[in-house]
Structure 1
Amino acid sequence: MMRIISSSSTITVVLFGLLCVVCHSFTPPPTKLSSFPSWTSHQTNNRPLAVSQLHATSQNEGNNKTKKKPQHDRTIDRRKSPALWRNDFEYSIAPVGLQQQQSPSIQLQQQKIITEPPELMSPAGGWPQLKAAVANGADAVYLGLTSYSARARASNFDPDPTLIYKSDYEPNNEGAASLAQAVKFAHEHHVRVYVAFNTLVFDEELHEVQELIEQIWECGVDAVIVQDVGVSKIVKEVVDALSAKMEEEEGSGRMGKGLDGARMEIHASTQQTVTCADGVEFAAQRTNATRVVLGRELSLTEIAQITSNTDIEIEAFVHGALCVSYSGQCFSSEAWGGRSANRGQCAQACRLPYGLIANGELKHLSFDGIEGIMGGSNKQLQNNDVDEVQYLLSPQDLCGLEHVEGLVRAGVSCLKIEGRLKDSSYVAATTRAYRQAIDEAWGKVLEEQSTTSSSTKRILSSPDEHVSRSDLTHVFARGQDENHDGLTAGFFEGPKHQRLVRGRSPRHRGVHLGRVVSSNSGVLTIQFDDRLMDEAEFPLKRGDGIVVDRGMPQDEELGGPIYDVRWNARDGTADIRFGREVEHRWMDNDRRSRQKMAPNGAHVWKTADSDVSKRMKRLAVLDPPKSPAKVVVSGGIGQPLTVKVIDTRSGKVGEATSDDLLEEAQKAGLSAKTIRKAIGTLGNSRWNLGDDDIDSSSLEENVWCPMSLIKETRRQALDNLVEAVEGSPKADDEWKMHTNLSYNDEVVVDQLLSEISTNIMQGNDSPSASVKVSVLARSYEQVDSLCSMIESSSGGTHTVDEIVVDFLEIDGIRAAVSRIREVNDVRVVVASPRIIKPGEEGIWRTLLRTEPDGIMIRSTGLLHRLTQLGGAGQQVTIQSSEGDETIQVAIPELIGDFSLNAANAITAFELLQSGLDRITAAYDLNANSITELATLLGRKASQLEVVVHQHMPIFHTEHCVFARFLSKGDSYQDCGHVCTRNIVHLRDQNGKDNLVLADMGCRNTVFQAESQSGVYSLNEWVKAGVGHVRIELVDEKGEDAVKVVKAYLQFLEKDKQAVDVWSVLEGVSDSNGRMAGVGIGSLRNSVERRSGEITSNIH
């Protein structure tokens, strides 16, 4: 390693200051325990310590049977570093500090000049939603197919292009509407259509995918939203081939069949988990994406930093449901239900109740999340039972209305509304609300820039009808209490853990009215919130719907339409009676049961407002607005009449000339009034004329023709405009084109697969003599125990070849690396975090300073950064740990982890070509699919790694369970770093305790309680050529870690049978001393459910 000493004292000071920013906390927090067993070693008979005892107990390194006390490196020993956390960079440290960190290739650029307003994209789960979106101001819609869509439960659309010739837009017998008809309808109103092809694809599906992409292209779709890297390769090849064939057939110069003849684009889905500019560039360069949908966990400041460092279009979610887990990184449905979220089959496990286990003790959580603390107004009405918090992973929904202007100024290209499972009223309301907000923000930007925009303002049907934030809470909001209405700013303002997840209810609640005062003889008396009393109108009326929220939404709740309501002005309460059906259901119970359904202090919500519902339904069925047009009429005596109809949005022109000639007027010539009367308002066409949109100045004076001639010429001009705008041939020609463009559906996929074979034949990689074994450790005790095991082993064909250090924090990494270096012939790999945000780029320098043999790559952003620096083997210059000098280190091997979602051979090969030395199979693959993947990779399977043992990382979240429920803090700055002092599990409905760990970026990973083993498939994988298998540890004690690893090694040596390994695994306990068992989990070879069979846990 070469050291370069700075010659200038000034430079030394600057570099040292920068190092302090990148690698140090300003106030070091308490050191986190380096191993879990140091807590459990104080337990007796599996009984956890009391909280007071835990707080009084100091870390005891001596409890771990280590040969040496770890010598912590001072530059990586402190967890909370500004290089890895957000708020201090955004609000405390000047942007210059960020620029100094970044390499020159992504220096923060000047603020972009914004020339166009962002596109507004609305969801269309079916035909009614599509119409609602178009009528209420959407610039684009996104929809899914009947397969390969992340919302498999939506009605979705049939991609068969021949359905365009049906005379109506009705769905087929399976409930899916025609995609071709949907595109035709949307394009008629200058609205783009994007198909969400945002799931992972398995090898046996690749040829079907190619066929679907061809059909999508034929339907005229404007872009495909893609998660799978392999699918993006197929899309590119198909579009290239079809576009070239189209140009050859037509010679028209059109690039595709999208709006205005545009080429079909690739958009990188939020399922690709892109959270930094490097990730954006990877998507652009390796998947040919022209637009990237960012993760929803980014703040406005972070989004602005990304947009300023790329020329790629950036899309951001602005409204709708928030997944608690990073998109593309949720495996709860896969682990617990065999239905992968990455395959469009999310079971919404985040909306289920959980118990918080802190240091082995079940906590009773109330409003403010801390045991024994209550919050909110009307404290005299609060009740410990009805205020209990159970939904610890269920976020409130995103509502970015107040941040639209900030997103516009940040240069975001598209604002996206979530909700393909929502009804047409929801789509209408949200689309109109954000249309209004975008137009208002854009007007301010234009005024400040003193410029004009070339874009045409979108016209709304019923333009005077406005939708407010209050309306949106009526339409859908997961209300929690009187202070949290279910709509939040998400992460736009940075982490706000106390606000995002309140934990009381996972479903729609509406508007908070107040609390139950009493319930007697079928009369419910409620105390209204003070804020409602300030409103002009009484907040409740007959016909509205309410529900009594007693804190257990999984049980039957009292609620329904109101039959009668009486206001008690004296005390601000109201007496409510339900209709007969609800009243009977309530009163037929015994007295105790009736009281349980409406206990005093229970929250009361208005779930439906009859007036608002009527308004939203009316908006949902509006006819789409007509497009603005202009008409130019010209001609002279003895000449034909010429009529031009111009679409002012696209500039397209439809022109026609009359067969008959204009005559000299015998009396009065054609006046402007006469011409307007003849032209009319363009009748039943999709265009509309304003009062000043007919220009007859080019018509000679004193000319005349019959009114019928003007009308006929106008009709022909309109027909020509339709053809010009749609940019497509007549139906019979289009069908001919479709048949001509069809070709062997195996060409593209087979070409891509043959490239893998060709590369294998030309390469020098060969199957290893035996499979390599890697062990991932998450504590120093595990590392030390493994090293001791290896040192004392007598050898054998199979041993531990590699130890991966993944402490989920920077504390102790160097000590672990040093310990592993003491063992001969064992490689050391350090694992990177799954998420890297703007300002966190310093993490790769921190990892390189440990000088490992490999870095485990978990994000495409880090992969792009390291390969841009030269990739494995390249020497790079970084600052030393001391900060007063620079050093040269080599970039080690780059090992792609499961989070890159390599689910098929094309994706795996593309990632290997991107600079990885190994790639880990995606967790969505079952055992047979892994075998198929290895088989297709051939000799490249030696670079394939399979995780044979693990606790599935079911959630990976920006939301911090520790901060929310064990502190009153909103981020690491004020949470007290409770994650350093507490061991936390989430108890699920099956009574299993799932471990929660906070990583170096304060992001939480929830690990499945039950371990997953592939021991019964291991021989099959090795036979297929898999070169590496990994055993992952979580919170096992050192001795248990050794038992687990030894069992697998003995199996590979054929000293143990699979059943023997299984028996060992069943006896392993977690950090609380509980045995959670072992299962096959996602590796089970079961038939995947069809979309029609899928239901949600939460409605």
Structure 2
Amino acid sequence: MKVLIELLAPVGSQDALVAAVESGANAIYLAGRMFGARAYADNFDEAGLRDAIRFAHMRNVLINVTVNTMVDDQEFKELAQYLRFLYEAGADAILVQDLGVVKLAREIIPNMPLHASTQMTVHNLEGVRVLQDLGFTRVVLAREVSMEDIRYICANSEIEIEVFIHGALCVCYSGQCLMSSIIGGRSGNRGRCAQPCRLPYTLVDSEGNDVLENADAGNYLLSPRDMNTLDLLPELIEAGVTSLKIEGRMKRPEYVATVVDTYRRGIDSYLLSKADFTIAENDQKNLAQIFNRDFTSAYLKGKPGRFMMSDRRPNNRGVLLGRVLSYKAATQEVIIKLNEELHINDIVDFWVKVGGRVNATIRSMLVNGVSVLQAAPNDEVTIVIPSAVRDHDRVFKVFDAQMMERARAFFNTGAPVRRIMADIKVSSEIGKPFVVEIKDQDGYIGVGKTDFIAEQARKRPLTEEGIRKQIERLGTTVFSLENLTCEITGDVMVPISEINEARRRAVEMIERARLEKFTRLPLEIVEAAPLKKQVKMSRQSRMTKPELLVSVDTLAKAKNALEHGADWILFGGESYNHEVISVKQYRQAYDMVRSYHKKISFNTPRILKQWQVKSFNKLLQAFQEFIPDEICVHNLSQIRMVKAKVDTKIHADFSMNVYNNLSIEFLKELGVSGVTLSPECNFAQVESIVRRSVLPTECIVHGNLELMVSEYCAMGSFLGDLDKGTCTQPCTKAQYWFKDRKNEKFPLVTDQFCRMHVLNGKELSMYPHVHKFGQIGVNRIRIEAKYFDVKRIAVVTNLYKEFLALGEDHPLIADDKIKTIENDQITRGHYFRGVL
């Protein structure tokens, strides 16, 4: 169904499904039990998915199913069955992240519309165009894309564009976060994010001092506010966006109903009259009441700095209800001066200055000594609470009982809320069947006839009033009678049961008619060629001696790596010292590596926003004068831009989440010559992938892995006055870390584009296991050395060169003295544990 603008709602349960549809969504997105990026939602089994699709399609609402996780090679057979099921069940589109899933879907369900999930980190026009050319029908843009860039992308592409408009924000670019994975083994890329961004952190300096101790800042320094764009709906619609997406598959159905209903009315207001578009005060209040961490429009209108962060509370803060006037410890009574209405069964939260928070459900309350069921703004209300509070403490209403009841009315009545209007014509004549014809507002028709032949009435002939009484009984169907036309010839008798049966048959027919346009022909079941190929690939070992690559961001680091045995230098991309890497430096790095008769790969920025594209293309143009052995890319847009400018090999980095062989085959088809496997692969997965890989493979073996890359910068936001327009760049004057509850420290670095990178405080070290990479056929191993100083690079590079040469015969391994070069601040990453 083509709509002017689509309102897309999140669904994680049956009640949420009904809530979304009945409150006005044009489309919903949900997941089955597998392969969805919200594995902890209730989600739907196959029978539930079929029912959900039928329920939505009956109401002209589309169903998009998320299949947006990374997939292990061993899971593709099951995935193939699941994709066929989704196609035949009538899903309108699938959202995908994994390029291997894309390859498989194109093979076995070629007519299924593909939507690029926000997990694909698409953030510029070129990335959109690549996916457009690959046959995608829609791209969900990264949440970091500005309104200006959204407008530019929509104007210069033919594909549908979807953007998030409301709900929780990730602080890291979606699809690029390893924090949950590395810390707790629960991978966001596999749908099991543990949300470490919602935990408390302290910003500390090199001495371990809390640099925000005396600042007006909380401890939740990685916890963004919730997105709210209700006031920006006109701009988003005029920008050319196709689909407006609400986040919240983990949210309760009341949340879905409230948010969808609010945005539905906002969109309809704009479409009815652009000039008269208004947002009622209660609409914003309801959005805040149902759930908020305070609100932000994120990056749509610039970088809000600290005002994008919910640094004082990572969960629902509700609506400010009032302040404490007094508290009596003996009776536990508190008097509150109200700013908002308060009702019985509401839940309030006291923000206590000392000792945390106090939560209370309102069971009874007094105003002027009189028991009341509700209190108004400016009333002084007395309630009993379980713990002590203090004068002037703020009080928030975190649960509004009456609003929740209104929200539940969208899904708990058992009858449709939004009905389809229908005209019904009834005809009856002696000697003929009784006929019911239904024509709905969309033009669909259903006809039902009785087997019974109408007879001459002896006592009570049919009347319009009697017929109406039966015909109006549309009950739990989606239809509602608008006009009834009765054509009764003579004194006719037809039993009531027969009238009801004719009505039922007419309804069944019109329902089939409404669903027919969504019906697909059964698929021809053939084994997917990509899976056949995987089975036939050689299982023989590809034992090799890996080359050693060292990733650096300065010439001095490159020189030390070369002097101590590096075979490859990966130079440039994003610097860890906030300094621009110039064309001259790339040329100097190239000349230096050539003087050592080694190989060089030029790195690219992990994120390439629209404002960077022009300078990036100039850089590529310059590379034509000193062509490197390869260029390392981080997203699909860069593959195309590099191919257009430089005739050299292209290497896909770990940020492209290469987790299986079908992804590698897909990248090869795009012109990629080698890949870095995802750091979330364990050794068994690495071995399985490498032995079947159609491209050379690389694994990261050492360094402080990047856990997050973010447009948000904690230092600039809380120390550099970023929100005032110009950052004072405190990151260039000192080094900072996030310290968590367990006193683990995570280094923070900012690149030349003012993005913050959160690094793992524990150094990945695979010294004693280097020989295994050669045994299983990995072509290249990599030291992530940007965070190292030149002396550290020399030591680490030299040691890996020794381990590569001597293998298990290295004395540090043979004599079990590996601890002499490692400390307790090292990790083996996922090589021996994998991810959930």
> Is the deviation greater in 214-223 or in 802-811?
802-811
1:999 maps onto 2:751 in alignment: yes
Distance (whole Å) between structure 1 residues aligned to residue 30 and residue 518 of structure 2: 25
CA deviation string 1:701-722 (max 9, x = no partner): 9788656687665443322212
1:267 maps onto 2:34 in alignment: no
1:1029 maps onto 2:781 in alignment: yes
Instruction: Find the partner of 2:227 among 384, 388, 398.
Output: 398
1:801 maps onto 2:568 in alignment: yes
Distance (whole Å) between structure 2 residues aligned to residue 752 and residue 430 of structure 1: 47
Match of 1:886 in 2: none
Instruction: Find the partner of 2:515 among 726, 731, 734.
Output: 726
- AA aligned to 1:506 is P
Instruction: Find the partner of 1:605 among 386, 396, 413.
Output: 396
- CA pair 716-1032 structure 1, distance change in 2 beyond 3 A: same
Q: Would you say the 8 A contact 2:416–2:478 is kept in 1?
A: no
Q: Displacement, 1:327?
A: 0.8
Q: Would you say the 8 A contact 1:292–1:312 is kept in 2?
A: yes
Match of 1:307 in 2: 154
1:653 maps onto 2:445 in alignment: yes
Instruction: Find the partner of 2:420 among 623, 627, 644.
Output: 627
Q: Would you say the 8 A contact 2:10–2:247 is kept in 1?
A: yes
- AA aligned to 2:510 is L
SS in 2 for 1:433: helix
TM-score w.r.t. the length of structure 2 is 0.87
Match of 1:424 in 2: 253
Q: State the structure with bigger RCO (CA 8 A, min sep 6), 1 or 2.
A: 1
- CA pair 565-682 structure 1, distance change in 2 beyond 3 A: closer
Distance (whole Å) between structure 2 residues aligned to residue 304 and residue 984 of structure 1: 36
- CA pair 1078-648 structure 1, distance change in 2 beyond 3 A: same
Q: Displacement, 1:1085?
A: 3.0
- AA aligned to 2:152 is Q
Instruction: Find the partner of 1:956 among 691, 700, 709.
Output: 709
1:1079 maps onto 2:832 in alignment: no
CA deviation string 1:935-968 (max 9, x = no partner): 121xx34x21111112121111121212211122
Show the 5 A alignment for 1:512-661: 512-514=320-322, 519-521=327-329, 523=332, 533=339, 539-550=341-352, 557-562=357-362, 563-564=364-365, 574=380, 576-579=382-385, 582=386, 586=387, 598=389, 602-622=393-413, 623-625=415-417, 626-631=419-424, 644-649=437-442, 651-656=443-448
- CA pair 520-200 structure 1, distance change in 2 beyond 3 A: same
- AA aligned to 2:174 is S
Show the 5 A alignment for 1:736-747: 743=525, 746-747=527-528
Match of 2:727 in 1: 975
Q: Displacement, 1:826?
A: 2.5
Q: Displacement, 1:807?
A: 4.2
Q: Displacement, 1:487?
A: 1.9
Distance (whole Å) between structure 2 residues aligned to residue 447 and residue 643 of structure 1: 43
Q: Would you say the 8 A contact 1:636–1:662 is kept in 2?
A: yes
Instruction: Find the partner of 2:792 among 1022, 1040, 1043.
Output: 1040
- CA pair 703-830 structure 1, distance change in 2 beyond 3 A: farther
Distance (whole Å) between structure 2 residues aligned to residue 629 and residue 748 of structure 1: 48
CA deviation string 1:745-777 (max 9, x = no partner): x545423537978xx99xxxx989642221101
Q: Would you say the 8 A contact 1:145–1:158 is kept in 2?
A: yes
- AA aligned to 1:441 is Y
| Identical counterparts, % of pairs | 27
SS in 2 for 1:311: coil
1:225 maps onto 2:83 in alignment: no
- CA pair 636-363 structure 1, distance change in 2 beyond 3 A: same
Distance (whole Å) between structure 2 residues aligned to residue 729 and residue 510 of structure 1: 41
Match of 1:415 in 2: 244
SS in 1 for 2:161: strand
Match of 1:441 in 2: 270
> Is the deviation greater in 512-521 or in 206-215?
512-521
Match of 1:44 in 2: none
Match of 2:318 in 1: 510
- CA pair 392-958 structure 1, distance change in 2 beyond 3 A: same
Distance (whole Å) between structure 1 residues aligned to residue 604 and residue 253 of structure 2: 43
- CA pair 187-843 structure 1, distance change in 2 beyond 3 A: same
Show the 5 A alignment for 1:859-870: 859-867=635-643, 869=644
- AA aligned to 1:267 is H
Distance (whole Å) between structure 2 residues aligned to residue 818 and residue 892 of structure 1: 16
SS in 1 for 2:781: strand
Q: Displacement, 1:917?
A: 1.8
SS in 1 for 2:88: helix
Distance (whole Å) between structure 2 residues aligned to residue 1085 and residue 1066 of structure 1: 20
Match of 1:496 in 2: 304
Match of 1:208 in 2: 78
CA deviation string 1:279-307 (max 9, x = no partner): 12222333x32111111112222211111
Distance (whole Å) between structure 2 residues aligned to residue 270 and residue 444 of structure 1: 32
Q: Displacement, 1:276?
A: 1.5
- CA pair 567-635 structure 1, distance change in 2 beyond 3 A: closer
SS in 2 for 1:995: strand
- AA aligned to 2:639 is L
Match of 1:14 in 2: none
Q: Displacement, 1:348?
A: 0.6
Match of 2:372 in 1: none
Match of 2:477 in 1: 686
Match of 1:811 in 2: 580
Distance (whole Å) between structure 1 residues aligned to residue 648 and residue 113 of structure 2: 35
Q: Displacement, 1:932?
A: 0.9
Instruction: Find the partner of 2:283 among 468, 481, 492.
Output: 468
Q: Would you say the 8 A contact 2:750–2:756 is kept in 1?
A: yes
1:336 maps onto 2:172 in alignment: no
- CA pair 729-904 structure 1, distance change in 2 beyond 3 A: closer
CA deviation string 1:824-849 (max 9, x = no partner): 22233332222222332124224322
Structure 2 regions of 5+ residues with no counterpart? Answer: 370-374
Distance (whole Å) between structure 2 residues aligned to residue 514 and residue 967 of structure 1: 33
CA deviation string 1:717-746 (max 9, x = no partner): 32221222233999xxx9xx98xx6846x5
CA RMSD of aligned residues (A): 3.9
Q: Would you say the 8 A contact 2:462–2:494 is kept in 1?
A: no
Q: Would you say the 8 A contact 1:150–1:345 is kept in 2?
A: yes
- AA aligned to 2:438 is V
SS in 1 for 2:212: coil
SS in 1 for 2:273: helix
Instruction: Find the partner of 1:292 among 139, 144, 147.
Output: 139
Distance (whole Å) between structure 2 residues aligned to residue 281 and residue 299 of structure 1: 18
- CA pair 687-156 structure 1, distance change in 2 beyond 3 A: closer
- AA aligned to 1:1051 is F
Q: Displacement, 1:489?
A: 1.6
Distance (whole Å) between structure 2 residues aligned to residue 604 and residue 421 of structure 1: 26
Structure 1 regions of 5+ residues with no counterpart? Answer: 1-113, 164-177, 241-262, 375-387, 449-464, 479-485, 587-593, 791-797, 870-875, 877-889, 1068-1075, 1090-1099
Q: Would you say the 8 A contact 2:367–2:381 is kept in 1?
A: yes
- CA pair 270-520 structure 1, distance change in 2 beyond 3 A: same
Distance (whole Å) between structure 2 residues aligned to residue 301 and residue 676 of structure 1: 59
Q: Displacement, 1:1053?
A: 0.6
SS in 2 for 1:986: strand
SS in 2 for 1:362: coil
Distance (whole Å) between structure 2 residues aligned to residue 635 and residue 543 of structure 1: 55
Q: Displacement, 1:493?
A: 1.8
Distance (whole Å) between structure 2 residues aligned to residue 267 and residue 398 of structure 1: 22
Show the 5 A alignment for 1:1081-1096: 1081-1085=829-833, 1089=836
- CA pair 959-331 structure 1, distance change in 2 beyond 3 A: same
Q: Displacement, 1:1016?
A: 4.4
1:918 maps onto 2:674 in alignment: yes
- CA pair 542-712 structure 1, distance change in 2 beyond 3 A: closer
